[in-house]
Every structure is written in C-alpha cells, then in structure tokens.
Structure 1
C-alpha cells in the first residue's frame, strides 16, 4: 500500500501529503487522529495540531513560519495563513560529531579522468574560449561558429533539421509539413581530436561599465574556470580599455594557482599590431588549433573517487524536493566526503533558517563565523533594495507546496548531507579543502551553478521538481527529478528519477548510491548528461554593484 503522508522530523507539527487527500479524511499518526479540514493537494502540508495566530510551524525540526491567523488541526497551511519565520543564529555553539556512512562498496573504486599538473583530476577535457569584457562577445561568437562547424563538434539539432526540411519543401513547391526528428544529441566528439571533449565558448555582459569590485570579481571567477581541472587549455580575448584588465586576471589566476601551466593564449584587440580584427582572429584560430593538438595528447587514467569535486544545487523545486531528490544527493555527498572527496553547496538564500545547524557543523568557529557574516551581509544587501529572503519562493514553488522560504530552505539544505563543513567561500573563491564547502551564491539557477564551476566543481547534481534545463559549459550537470511524473513529462532533460523514494520503492540511501554510480560513469566519460547532449551551456556572472 502506498504511503499517503509523511512526517519528516519527530518534532514537526506539519505533515506532507504524498498524494491528493480529501477534506474529511481521517489521518492516524502515532495515535493522533487528524480530520482534514481542507482538500490537501500532494506536496502540500497540513497541521497535526491547532496553531493559534502568531504560533509556530515546524518542519525538518526547525522553525519554518508563524501563523497569520488561527489554523485548525488538520488544516491546510498556505500563504493566506502562514508567513516566513526562522530562528536566529549565533555562531558555533557546540561540537559536532559525524558518523560517515558505510563506504566499503566504493572504497577501492576509481574513475578514469584527466590528471592535471596541479594534482587535480578532471572529468572532462575542454578547451575554453572566454572574453574579459562583453565587447568581445561578437568575436567569441564568430570563433564558436568557426570551430564548432569546422571541427565537427556539433550536429544539427532537431529544430534546425525542421527548418532545413521546410526549406527543401518550399524550394520544391510542396506543401509545408513538419518532418520526423532524428532526436540525436547536438554535441558530438570530433574525430580529429578524440581526447578533447569539446570547445566551450563563454559570453557575458560584464567587464566594464560597472564598479571596480564587480570587474575584479569577474576576473576571479574566470580564473576559477581556468583552474578547474575539466579545462585543458584557454583562449582569452580582451578589448584593452575595460576595467577587467589582463593584469587583474593574471593576478587572480596566480592567487588560485601560482604554478599554473596549462596552455593559455591571451589576445588584446586594441594592442594588436596587425591590420584589423580579421588578422587578430586568424591568429586566435591558429593558436587555439595548436592548443587543441596539445591537449588531445592527454588520455583518461584511473583516479580515486577522492579526486571528484561535486557541486549540489536545486531549482524549480517542489514540495517533494526536500524528501526525495535533495536527501538522495545529500547521501551521495556524504558518501563522497567519506571517501575523501570534495563537495560544494551553493545558494545562500536557500540556507535561511538552518544557519545555526550549519554553524554547529562547521569544523571551526572561524568557518562558522565567516558563513554567518556572509549570510548577514547578503540579507543586508537584499534589504537595501527592498527585498528579503522571505521573497525567495517563486510562484511555481508556492503552487507546489513551498509556502515560506524557511520551508524551501530546510528542504534545500538536505542536499548538503550531514558531514562537517570545512569552509565557507565567497563568490569567485576556489575550493581548496576536502570535504563539504559552502559557496556563497544567489538562489538563481545559473548564477549558482556558474559560481560552483568557478569554485572547481567537476560534476554538478541538480534536483528539480518542476523541470529546468539548466546546464554549465565546463561542469557536467546531472538533472534529478523529485517525482516520477516530471521524469515522464520531460524525459529530454531528466537524467535520474528520484520518484521511487516517494512511492516507497527505494530508500534515500539506495538512491544516493545509484547517483554515485552514475557520477562515476559520467566522470569516466562513459556517458553524457541530457544537458550536455542538448548543448545547454549556461553562464551568468553575479554582478552585485551598481553599473556606472
């Protein structure tokens, strides 16, 4: 018999409906008979007791809201009767003892990756082409078209195939009708460079016309992309007069890796002594082609799982996120930390309400205080523009049961598992500590995943309850659905279905182990993700200051 509801923590006074429940239904929970006062849609919550106005609502064992009116026992909680509330945080208050999960199954396992000179191991071998300023975006696009088409790294996508099909019909004077799609992956391997997994071209809207801090932070982020072991070599284009100067970029790169020795070619358009942009681009093409020949000499070789660098993120979340996919990848994270690997969790607005727990899990008071300082500074910046963490849940989140930011955050934090927190990093900083790292980013999907790739994530796990196609240019994105309905609805973007946790067919631990098995295959180049196949290469820099 399938489960109808769930209590996440014994101290919670809210229960989660796992399927649609009708008003008048009698729920029995640990001797407590609850008559539902309202229809409760799957993913939404109802009370185990009456909550008076200003009373507290608890989920995941933490405060998640205050009642804005009296809520009867068995009543639906929603935006009309509950508003965001969360407990304060005071720094590291107690020691934390962690029991690693049993990792014997994975202890001697390896993945086949690209070993870099700095000791890191990449899961991919990409050549990266990036601009220091948005003025070079057009040149980046020209280079992208030239290399992708010229070297066979990309097949026609299904939409392009339809346009070609319609053009041929029109030219032949036939009636227009859509053809069948080949459903082939967009991205292909080049037969000329079999050990190069792709050439990635970034564009952005920053680098100048903004405050100095943002321009320097952009250089720091781009330097992190260069240090990321998934990148084998880099071509950089600069205009010359912008704030994000080549010297600043080189300084940030040296800070992250003083002995950086990957192939790196930097071109500055205003300082070029040739005649015009065409000659400059010809030189870029030559040096980049030579670089591809160089990194193609690398082969995949076995590496311990401790060399994996995993990022965890959720987006398009629903009421099942915190009880299926998020805790599943949280178990994956714990397994990897137990094996000596590196894990990163981003999106600080979605850690609101669990700060004290995370501070207590920090290995030192300094790490806890650094995290608390960044959270308060972020909240202060939001308040300065009339916003706040309480505004974080989107209309889609609310519709699917995430009523307050604290409810959303408590479920989102489950992605971090239960291991100790070794560091708290600002946006653009690089993760250097083995174990669980907090990375300060917005909740915005692309800003967060961009930040984790810049912090060195070589694989990212992304859970979603509503569906999102987000990907990253250099850090492969594994998409996990919180429910089976979504996996069936959008199979073109979902890699792993965590719905069996909701139905009771699998445990969180079983699913977490399956996810790690998938990551090992991905890291070894044996499989690609849906986002990789679709060419979903999203990059967005977090600009925090005013434009000038």
Structure 2
C-alpha cells in the first residue's frame, strides 16, 4: 500500500508528503489528528505540530532550520517561514560504532575488468588525448575529428541527418511535411571498431593551464595526472604549447608522486618545438595509433569486487533524494566497504550541518582534524566572495522540497551510508585506502564528477530527483532516480529507478543490493551506462583561484 507521508527520524518535528496532499485534509499520525492548513505537494514538508517562531526544525534527526514565524500544525514549510540553521562542529567528540552488513552472497562475486601493472583494475579501457593548456584545444578537436569515425568510435549524428531531411523537404517545396517529420534515433556506430578491446579515445579539452594563479595550474596538473594514472586509462597523448604555466615536467612529477613505477605509454608533443601544425598533428596521429595497437592487447579478466572504487554524488536533487536514492547507494557503499572496496563521498557544501556526525565517524583524529580544516576553509572562501553554504539550494531544489542547504545536506550525506571514514582528501588527491573516503569538491555536478574520477573512482553513482545529464569521459556514471515519474519521463538518462522505495515496494537495503548488481554488470562491460550511450563526456576542472 502506498504511504501518503513519512516521518524520517523519531526526533523530527516535520513530516514529508509522499504524494500531493490537499488543504483541509485530516491525516492521522501517532494517534493525533493533523488538519492540513495548506496544500502540500509531494516531496515537501509540513509541521507535525505548531512550531513557534525561532524554534528548531528537525529532519533526519538533525537541525535543518529554524522557524521565521509560527508554523501551524499541518502548515507547509517554505522559504518564507524557514531559515537555514545548523549546529556548529568541533573535533572528534565520540566514536560511532558500525555493524557491517552481511556480504556473504557477494564474497565470491567478480567483475570483468582491465588489470593494470600497478594492481588497479579498470572498468573500461580508454586512450586519452589531453591539452596542457587551452591554446591546444583546437588541435585536440582536430585529432578528435580525425580519429573517432575512422576507428569506429563515433556515433551517427542523428540530429545532423534530421536537419538534412528538413532541408530536402524545404528545397523540394514540401514544407507542409516539415512539422510532422519525426527524428529517427539510433546509437549505431559509423563503422565497426578497429580496436575491439579499446572502449574509445577521449579528448579532455579545458580552459585552464595558464592565465590564472600557479596553484590552479598545479592542481590542473595533479588532476590530469589522476586521469592518466586512472585504471580505466591505457595511455595518453599530451599536447603542450610550451610556454604555459602548466608545464609538462609538473605533470610528470604529479604522476610519479602517484606511482613511482608508472610505465603506461604517454606521448608528449610540444607545438613550439615540433614546428608546423602539420608536423605536430601527423606525429600525434601516428604515435597515438601505435599506442592504440598496444592498448588493444589488454583484455578483460575476472577481478574481486574489492578492486572497485565508487564515487558517490548527487545532482538535481529533490525532496525524495534523501529517503530513496541517497540511502540506497549509502547501503551499496556499506556493502562495498565490507567487501574491501573503496567508496568516495564528495560535495563538501552539501555536508553542511552533518559535520559532527562525519567527524565522529572518522577512524583517526588526523582525518577528523583535516575534515574540520577543509570545511572551515571552504566556508570562509565562500563567505569572502559574499556567498555561503546557505545559498547552495538551486531553484530546482527549492521547487521540489529542498528549501534550505541544511535539509539538502542532511539527505545528501545519506549517500555515505554508515561505515567509518578511513581518510579525508583534498582536491584533487587520489584515493588509496579501502573504505569510505571524503573528498573535498564543489557541489557543482560536472566539477564534482570530474574530481571524483581524477581521484581514481572507476564507477560513479549519481543520484538525481530532477534529471541531470551529466557524464564523464572515462568512467561510467550510473544515473539513479529518486522517483519513478522521473525515470519514466527521462528513460534515456536514468539507469536505475529507486522509486519503489517511495512506493513501499522495496526496502532501502533491497534497492542498495540491486544497485550493486547493476554496478557489476556495468563494470564488466555487459551493460553500458546511459551516459556512455549519449556520449556525455563532461570534464570541468575546479578553478579555485582568480585569473591574472
């Protein structure tokens, strides 16, 4: 039976509407009658009893706001009557225990991955082409045009074909048919792939490398090093102009810091040394082709689930995200941690208000102190430019029930499950410790996904309540909807629907197990994530400084 509302935590003083509720309706909860004084849309919250002006508002058992003025019993929470409010945080005050889930059913499960010499295992096998500076973006685009179709990695441009058909109709005088011509979509490649064991060549253009502070160019080099070192990458072609801040020797030092014995093939070409564009491009094409021949010799082999490194992220969240999709992948995270895998929780602005719980989950004082330091520094940087974490919810978040950053954060943190936190990383550090890790990133969808992959995650779980078309060039990004309506409206984007949790058809634990089974299929190459079908190759490095 579909429940019409939910109380998330026993200590909460608000209820969540699971379906639209009408003004004047009387509902019963915990033996008391609540007459709704407002229409309450699904995903929004209403007061269980009178909440006086200045009184704390609790959700997920946490402080998420305070009442601006009296909110009557059955009154809906809005941006007008609720103000962002959270508790402060200090160092570690206690240790939170954890009982690992039973993982016996997965103990002998494997996925089919690409084994690298350094012990990492990839869920894909890509070749990268990377510019050291934005000046080389044009050359990278030329290489992209030269390679993709000829090697069978390109898709047929259905939109170009659609325009061509419209032109034909116009030029033939049949303009009446234009309005009824439908798009015939196909994802078929232009031709059969030349290299069967190579999943593609990916071209990571960006707007950095020069013109900003040196710290930004250093961080860009560290991020690119993470991508080159990544288990989903067989090798890389690097195009450098020569005079930029992001020098090749800085990139090489960052790679060596990740792996002193690094031995993947990396082709480095500097335009100011090579001479003409023709000389540069012909050399880049020839050497990259030879690199692809070597990459094609690597084949998928069985690997234990402990070799998975999973990124945990949300984007376009709604009022259901924190009670369906996020806790579901939180349970997936707990299972993988118990199996010896790595998981990474990101988006520090969306951990505002739950800091103390996360601090107390840190295994060491050092990790706890680093998290405190990073959170405070990030908040201070936001305030210095006239902003703050309280301004984090987007118009879409607010429209669908996340009216304060604290409410958004309390639900977002559920992606991290309940396991201990083994390490806290600053952007763009690489994850090395099995268990749950925290990574300092923005809440911005593409910047966050870019960072998670740069830190070594070979699968990203991306929950959404509104529908966000975000992907990554080298790592599968599995889209998980918080509600069934979204999954039905945007089936080309959504991979997994956790709406059955809202309807009561499945438990969070059952849904989390389903997610893990799906991960195994994607990691093995047996199922292609929707973002890979759509070629959503989003890549935006986080620029933390100013332009000079």
Q: How many Å separate the matches in 2 of 1:185 and 1:311?
A: 27
Among residues 257, 266, 269, which one is paired with 1:267 in the alignment? Answer: 269
Give the alignment of 1:59-74 within 5 angstroms. 59-74=59-74
Residue 424 (structure 1) shift: 0.9
Structure 2 residue matching 1:322: 3-state secondary structure? helix
Bigger mean CA deviation after superposition, 144-153 or 403-412: 144-153
The alignment status of 1:347 with 2:352, answered yes or no, reads: no
Contact 2:472/2:539 (8 A) holds in 1: yes
3-state SS of the aligned residue for 2:87?
A: coil
SS at match of 1:192: coil
* TM-score, structure 2 as length reference: 0.98
Does residue 220 of the first structure (1) align with residue 222 of the second (2)? yes
Please give the alpha-carbon distance, in whole angstroms, between the structure 2 residues aligned to 1:298 and 1:547: 42
- Conserved? CA contact 1:309–1:342, under 8 Å: yes
* Larger CA deviation: 90-99 vs 301-310: 90-99
Name the SS for the 1:244 alignment partner. coil
Counterpart of 2:537 in structure 1 is 537
1:185 equivalent in structure 2: 187
Q: C-alpha displacement at 1:179, in angstroms?
A: 4.4
Structure 1 residues 186 and 53, CA gap change in structure 2 (3 angstroms): farther
- Three-state SS of the structure 2 residue aligned to 1:312 is strand
Alpha-carbon distance, 1:31 to partner: 2.0
Aligned pairs for 1:174-253 (under 5 A) are 174-175=174-175, 177=178, 179-185=181-187, 190-253=192-255
Conserved 8 A contact 2:5-2:18: yes
Q: Which position in structure 2 is the counterpart of 1:374?
A: 374
Structure 1 match to 2:94: 94
Kindly report structure 1 stretches of 4+ aligned residues shifted beyond 3 Å: 167-176, 178-182, 186-190
* Aligned residue in 1 for 2:31: 31
Pair 219,186 (structure 1): closer, same or farther in 2 beyond 3 Å: farther
User: Displacement, 1:173?
Assistant: 5.6
Give how far 1:191 is off.
Answer: 2.6
- Tell me if 1:492 matches 2:486: no
Deviations 1:78-99 (A, max 9, x none): 1000010111111111122211
Measured in 2, the distance between the counterparts of 1:345 and 1:186 equals 35
Q: Which runs of 5+ in 1 are unaligned?
A: none
Q: In the TM superposition, what is the alpha-carbon distance from 1:255 to its structure 2 partner?
A: 0.7
Residues 63-462 of structure 1: matches in 2 within 5 Å? 63-170=63-170, 174-175=174-175, 177=178, 179-185=181-187, 190-272=192-274, 274=275, 276-462=276-462
The structural deviation recorded for 1:189 is: 8.4
Q: Deviations over 1:478-514 (max 9, x none)?
A: 1111111111111111111111111111111111111
**Cα RMSD over matched residues?**
1.3
Q: Deviations over 1:328-386 (max 9, x none)?
A: 11111111111110001111000000000000000101101101110000000000000
Does the 8 Å contact 2:221/2:250 carry over to 1? yes
Quick one: distance in 2 between partners of 1:187 and 1:29? 56
Deviations 1:387-425 (A, max 9, x none): 000000001100100011000000001111111111111
Task: Give the Cα separation in 2 of the matches to 1:220 and 1:302.
Answer: 30
Query: Deviations 1:52-74 (Å, cap 9, x if unpaired)?
Result: 11110000010000111111122
SS at match of 2:323: coil
Report how far residue 468 of structure 1 moved. 0.7
Q: Distance in 1 between matches of 2:299 and 2:434?
A: 25
8 Å Cα contact 2:269/2:284 also seen in 1: yes
Aligned residues between the structures:
546
Q: 1:246 to 1:265 in 2, by over 3 A?
A: same
CA distance in 2, matches of 1:476, 1:356: 32
How much has 1:547 moved relative to structure 2?
0.2
2:474 equivalent to 1:474: yes
SS of 2:321's equivalent in the other structure is: coil
- Report deviation, 1:170: 4.8
- Could you tell me whether the CA contact under 8 Å between 2:149 and 2:190 is conserved in 1? no
Shift of 1:475: 1.0
Aligned equivalent of 1:464: 464
**Are the aligned partners of 2:501 and 2:508 in contact in 1 as well (CA < 8 Å)?**
yes
Distance across 1 between alignment mates of 2:87 and 2:536: 38
Secondary structure of 2:225's counterpart equals: helix
Q: Distance in 2 between matches of 1:229 and 1:541?
A: 19
* Equivalent residues of 2:130, 2:238 under 8 A apart: yes
SS at 2:320 equivalent: coil
Alignment match, 1:53: 53
Question: Residues 371 and 424 of structure 1 are in contact (CA less than 8 Å); yes or no, is this contact kept in structure 2?
Answer: yes
* 8 Å CA contact 2:309, 2:342 repeated in 1: yes
Q: Are the equivalent residues in 2 in contact too, given 1:186–1:533 (CA < 8 A)?
A: no
CA contact (8 A) 2:362 2:420 kept: yes
Answer with 187-196 or 293-302: which moved more. 187-196
Distance 2:63 2:463 in 1: 24
* Cα separation, partners in 2 of 1:115 and 1:531, compared to 1, 3 Å: same
The answer to whether the 8 A contact 1:187-1:534 is kept is no
The change in CA–CA distance for 1:121 and 1:190 in structure 2 (over 3 A counts) is farther
After superposing the two structures, state which structure 1 stretch, 32-41 or 514-523, moved more: 32-41
Deviation digits for residues 175-215 of structure 1 (CA, Å, limit 9, x no counterpart): 46364444322668853100000110011100000000000
CA deviation string 1:495-543 (max 9, x = no partner): 1111111111111111111111110000000010111000000000111
Contact conserved, 2:149 with 2:191, CA < 8 A, in 1?
no
